[in-house]
Amino acid sequence: MDIVSGETAVRLVGQIDSGCGWPSFTKPIASANVSELQDASLGMIRTEVRSAHGDSHLGHVFDDGPEDRGGLRYCINSASLRFIPREEMQAQGYGEYLDQVEDIP
């Protein structure tokens, strides 16, 4: 969830090891609660990912993710998120998303 606004729908699924050092995922659980904006800073064109309602910067999305999982890589700043362990999701009110979250080996 977005650590600033407390939005619960910015959770991301499909964690991948992208080798960049930031948590990377293949898609948001609720895409309606994630905004994607063009970011032309730092001399490059990127797509910024923000929480739609809290308007917090979360990271960037790139098109170099695993092809078999849609081809996207959401590279998210871990300081912008509050991670909830799978085994605590039900107790913290996120049980409806359990079927969309995979165990990470």
CA distance 87 to 85: 5
Q: Which residues of the chain have pLDDT under 50?
A: 9-10
The tens digit of pLDDT for each residue in 91-103 reads 988 888 788 776 6
pTM of the entire predicted model: 0.74
Return the pLDDT at 97: 78
Return the pLDDT at 47: 95
Return the pLDDT at 28: 83
Return the pLDDT at 10: 47
Q: Of 80, 8, 73, 79, which is closest to residue 47 (Cα–Cα)?
A: 73
Return the pLDDT at 91: 93
Q: Of 6, 20, 35, which is closest to residue 77 (Cα–Cα)?
A: 20
Measured in degrees and rounded to the nearest 5, phi and psi for residue 59 equal: 160, -145
Instruction: Provide the 8-state DSSP code for 41.
Output: G
Measured in degrees and rounded to the nearest 5, phi and psi for residue 69 equal: -120, 25
Give the active site residues.
75
Residue with tokens 């970011």: 39
CA distance 81 to 27: 15
Return the pLDDT at 81: 81
